[in-house]
Amino acid sequence: MHVLPTHDALRQILPSVIFELADRFVRAGHELSLVGGPVRDLYLGRVSPDLDFTTSARPEDTLKIIAGWADNTWDVGREFGTIAFKKGTYTLEVTTYRADAYDKDSRKPVVAFGDNLHDDLFRRDFTMNAMALRLPELELVDPFDGVSSLTDQQIRTPGSPDISFSDDPLRMMRAARFASQLKIEVSPEVRQAMSEMTDRIEIISAERVRDELVKLINGADPRAGIDLLVDTGLADRVLPEVSALRLEIDEHHRHKDVYQHSLTVLEQAMELETDAEGAVPGPDFVLRFAALMHDAGKPATRKFEPSGAVSFRHHDMVGSKLVKARMRALRFDKDTTKAVARLVELHMRFYGYGDAGWTDSAVRRYVTDAGSLLERLHRLTRSDVTTRNRRKAERLAFAYDDLEARIAAIAEQEELDSIRPDLDGEQIMAILGIRPGPVVGRAYKFMLNLRLDEGVLGEETAGERLRQWWALQPEAQAGVTE
């Protein structure tokens, strides 16, 4: 049973800045309430880092009330009634009561300021977020029974869900996000409305969908959120590569359920995240999303072989391209996109190590190709073992333990994190007597490959090998020095 702390306990729990602000609004003759997530979180036994308020004051009145008290203010949301400001270490947002109206083809509401708290709460996304604490008396206002939603572990809307989702289709993504973050289910009527209204998500900008997806993936139970997106068909619109993982299982069951496998890999990757002091502090979106999407190339590469086996040749490369395209469509930044796509591309690289073994050169290339993603690649590769065959799982784990040990040993000897050729560009030009140009780049690449293949050679030996390479180049034979 979720219970709101007592009045006295709330006074101790809530930051004093809340009551200072309330006093200023009351003295100015306006209502002020703590609203939404911060109130919900009190029922969940935690204090939200967000401090959101709703008020009868218009934006211009709010600016007057906090003038000289707030440290900084910004009014980029003034058009929508929101004034944000900083007080000490806290960031606060105060929004005028709203009674929004929506155009069915518009991405944004037509803002209409309201005149009472009840109507403002009615326009909010879910009943658990439609609760308020009147300030300064700390009176709970819960006209749509948000407390019951938390107690029943059900996501509901204050009004009809089809109207709510038609007004703001992003709320369907939020439902999935809250299912992940709070480990609760959506009500049957919410699920049905999501299933029937998936096309409405098309009017929402890619950036807003992306932001909700990131929060979902980084939640406590992303499987629940992803399942909801897939089961309702919303994933077909926003993340079709995940829906496509539900490959039809052939009658002979010659391959595992790729969709369920991918969700298991995601959960196992989460378990391998480290704390804030570790190599991969969780929640780590790059690792988690790569785990979910690592087999995205399988549907396009599935082939039934004459032997009866099923193959997915080059699904790593195909999947990497699909992931990159999807993340670009969702307006992810270049670095995040590149990192996730690279992990997907590399996730199969390890297989075969336990059977054939690798030379030191192959180990160096593995580390170099992974670069800054090496720790994530370690975790992704280990997470990709979902077999119920205990002997096979133990063999793969032993092989990866061995690989990590070899990486550590080579790193200790060669400072693997900063591998450089024995000769830099200036030295290459001096030895070969050439000027800057493309040939220098080719020579540098040759020296880097030499370093990866054979380790440290020393400048003298490296210089001799460089001269041998140069003698075979067309530019040297033609006497070109650029």
The one-character DSSP state at 33 is E
Among 36-40, 105-109, 325-329, name the one with the lowest average pLDDT: 105-109
Instruction: List beta partners, residue 55.
Output: 32, 96
The confidence score (pLDDT) of residue 379 equals: 94
Question: How many other C-beta atoms are found inside a 10 Å radius of the C-beta of residue 289?
Answer: 25
Q: Average pLDDT, stretch 65-89?
A: 92
- Answer yes or no: are the C-beta atoms of 155 and 185 closer than 8 Å: yes
Indicate the pLDDT class of residue 252, thresholds 50, 70 and 90: very low
pLDDT in tens, 441-459: 999 999 988 988 888 889 9
For the chain, how many helices (H) and strands (E)? 26, 13
User: Within 10 A of 310 (CB to CB), how many other CB atoms are there?
Assistant: 17
Rounded distance between C-alpha atoms, residue 238 and residue 324, angstroms: 14
Q: For the CA atoms of 98, 104, 106, 107, what is the dihedral angle to 10 degrees?
A: 70
- Give phi and psi for 83, each to the nearest 5: -120, 125
Degrees, nearest 5: CA angle 180-235-375: 60
* CATH 1.10.3210 is the classification of domain 239-418: yes
Where in 286-417 does DSSP place strands (E)? Answer: 303-304, 310-311
Q: Per-residue confidence at 121, pLDDT binned at 50, 70, 90? A: very high
CB atoms inside a 10 Å sphere around CB 5: 15
User: How far is 186 from 169, CA to CA, in rounded Å?
Assistant: 16
Q: How many CB atoms lie within 10 A of CB 240?
A: 12
Q: Is the dihedral of CA 183, 189, 190, 192 positive or negative?
A: positive
Q: How confident is the model at residue 248 (pLDDT cuts 50, 70, 90)?
A: low
Residue 383 CA to residue 269 CA, distance in Å, equals 5
Find all residues with CB under 8 Å of 91, minimum gap 6, and list them.
51, 84, 85
User: Out of 3.30.460.10, 3.40.50.800, 3.40.1010.20, 1.10.287.470, which CATH number does the structure's domain 1-152 have?
Assistant: 3.30.460.10
In this predicted structure, the answer to whether residue 218 has a pLDDT above a threshold of 50 is yes
Break the chain into its structural domains and give their ranges.
1-152, 153-238, 239-418, 425-477
The residues near 208 (Cβ < 8 Å, ≥ 6 apart) are 170
Residue 212 in this model has a pLDDT that exceeds 60? yes
Instruction: Quickly name the fold that domain 153-238 has.
Output: Hydrophobic Seed Protein (1.10.110)
How much is the pLDDT for 387? 82
In this predicted model, which residue has the larger pLDDT, 411 or 65?
65
| Biggest CA pair distance of the chain | 90
Q: What is the pLDDT of residues 360-369, one digit of tens each?
A: 888 888 998 9
Give the separation between CA 445 and CA 360, rounded to whole angstroms. 19
- pLDDT score recorded for residue 437: 87
Does the bond joining 136 to the residue before it have cis omega, within 30 degrees of 0? Answer: yes
Q: What is the sign, positive or negative, of the torsion defined by CA atoms of 329, 333, 338, 344?
A: negative
DSSP 245-258: T-PPPPTT--S--H
How far, in Å, CA of 130 to CA of 37, rounded? 9
Alpha helices of 333-480 — where are they, by DSSP H? 334-346, 353-356, 360-370, 374-383, 390-414, 425-432, 438-454, 459-471, 474-477
Least confident of 177-186, 226-235, 414-423, 437-446: 414-423
Residue 62 half-sphere exposure toward CB, CA atoms < 13 A: 25
Q: Which of 256, 241, 181 is closest to 215 using CA atoms? A: 181
Range name among 255-259, 385-389, 441-445 with the lowest pLDDT average? 255-259
pLDDT score, position 410: 83
The residue type found at 291 is A
Average pLDDT of the residues of the chain:
90
User: Is residue 75's pLDDT more than 50?
Assistant: yes
Q: Which has the closest alpha carbon to 283: 324, 222, 334, 229?
A: 222
CA distances for 230 relative to 215, 241, 242, 315, 372, angstroms: 17, 10, 8, 22, 32
298-318 mean pLDDT = 86
Instruction: Identify the residue with better confidence: 476 or 185.
Output: 185
User: Residue 194 — φ and ψ, nearest 5°?
Assistant: -60, -40
CB 142 within 8 A of CB 134: no
**Of 51-65, 141-155, 190-204, 437-451, which gets the smallest average pLDDT?**
437-451
